[in-house]
Amino acid sequence: MQSAGRQLERRVARSSLHAMKNALVIGASGGIGAALAAELEKRGYGVTGLSRSGDGLDVTDADSVALHLGTLEGPFEAIFVATGTLAAGGTPEKSLAAIEAGQMADVLAVNTIGPALVLAHVERLLPREGRATVGVLSARVGSIGDNRMGGWYSYRASKAAVNQVIHGAAIEIGRKRKQAVVAALHPGTVETAFTAGYPGHDKVTPADAARRLCDVMAGLDPAQSGGFFDYAGKEIPW
């Protein structure tokens, strides 16, 4: 038989574990994803990370998404979807003539279909009551209203499309999770392998980007769910 003191210690430990908020990061092996996981841990979350390289999660495959997310129980008070590709191994198109159908399909599969498949499992993983946040990485170049340069057709189209998916998901999830906030996020230009070929841009470290994105999500309220925000919390036009 355990001592009364030992039993009390175990009850306190279980209570503390139950009280801990939990976070889920999809794409946790990437530059931004790994930084988000680290930042959330600093903020006291118990973090679960999933990625292709670490766990075999292929966000473009519905069966893979169902297998990996289906085993999770939650609830998760914070979820980030930090997957993405710039050009699926190629280069962003500078003209319409440069568009290749296969490459465009691959970019859309990762940047649009992938997050959509993940979001289909998110409502079940959120708490039934209380505040919860879901941040999905998008990009300012996905803004149609802000596009004054053209080019980058596949990437722009994939991000514009995922913004629509996120907005629709926010409406659907909000019907049952009244305190949930679902948002599209522009992280800025971050120093990762993703942006290594663009040295002229002002870049921030993954750690700084993660901190700012977590701050943005912490500052949004349910009335702003479904919006598109940059790393400073400013709304971006669709």
One digit per residue, the tens of pLDDT, for the chain of length 238 reads 332 333 334 333 433 444 689 999 999 999 999 999 999 999 999 999 999 999 999 999 999 999 999 999 989 999 999 999 999 999 999 999 999 999 999 999 999 999 999 999 999 999 999 999 999 999 999 999 999 999 999 999 999 999 999 999 999 999 999 999 999 999 998 886 665 555 556 678 999 999 999 999 999 999 999 999 999 999 999 9
Asked whether the beta carbons of 161 and 167 are under 8 A apart, the reply is: no
* Closest CA relative to residue 221, chosen from 180, 186, 187: 180
Residue extents of the structural domains in the chain: 19-230
Q: Quick one: fold of 19-230?
A: Rossmann fold (3.40.50)
Question: Could you give the CA distance from residue 203 to residue 22 in angstroms, rounded to a whole number?
Answer: 29
